[in-house]
Amino acid sequence: MESNTQFVKEMLKKLAKLNYIKPAELPNINLYMDQVTTFMDEHLREGKRHPDDKILTKTMINNYTKNDLLPAPVKKKYSKDHLYILAFIYYFKSILSISDIKKVLDPLTENFFDVEDGANLDDIYTEVYEMCKSQIGSLSKDIMNRAETSDASFAHLKDISDEEKEFLQFFTLICSLSFDVYMKKNLIETLIDDFAARHNPEPVDKKAQEKKEKKEKKEKKKAEKEAK
């Protein structure tokens, strides 16, 4: 019987070899939509869960543009900056809603998309890529610790079969990893909400504001009249 630790160890070796979109691999020429989907599939196909899963389709690209996640192409061609944004969307969409992704990407596209002077998406993507790459070791170590902890769980139960014990240890690992994702997802959403509230406050509803002020004046007059 293979333990969680043994299985996870082998999986982490495979995950460490997954293709990522390295900064140096992005083309310096503009691409048509078919070329964009081919590029993304070639670089991210090893991350598919099922062989028929789609990394990126024409419909997805059109929807991203329609929802203002992705700037429109120029003469039906997509630049390197478009590919950077599509890469971020790909990594974000498994845990974030479209509205949250938009809140994160709007400042990026507004300030750094297709700029010639100062910080640009080349600099930003490279910095983020190197940071994430440097965390693979510590993340793998944390996952291995969770696997080892799950394999040591339920040792006190003597009246269950090996099959039942294997399932409970598997279930413990799933719970541990899921709780980690749950906590981090909540933290990410809170960070996004806080940033959006500070930098993009919701527009004031003038009618509601006027109604509120009118009500407050009426209550103030009533209180003054009762005081007399």
Q: In the structure, what pLDDT confidence band is assigned to residue 208 with cuts at 50, 70 and 90?
A: low
Query: How far apart are alpha carbons 191 and 203 in whole angstroms?
Result: 20
Domain spans of the chain, in order of start: 4-134, 146-227
For residue 74, what are the β-bridge partners? 77
N- to C-terminal Cα distance for the chain?
A: 86
Give yes or no for a contact between 169 and 154, defined as CB atoms under 8 angstroms apart. Answer: yes
At 87, is the pLDDT very low, low, confident or very high (cuts 50, 70, 90)?
Answer: very high
Tens-digit pLDDT profile for residues 49-75: 888 888 999 999 999 999 999 999 999
Give the pLDDT band (50/70/90) at residue 6.
Answer: confident
Average pLDDT, the chain: 88
Residue 12 contacts residue 119 (beta carbons within 8 Å): no
| 109 pLDDT above the threshold of 90 | yes
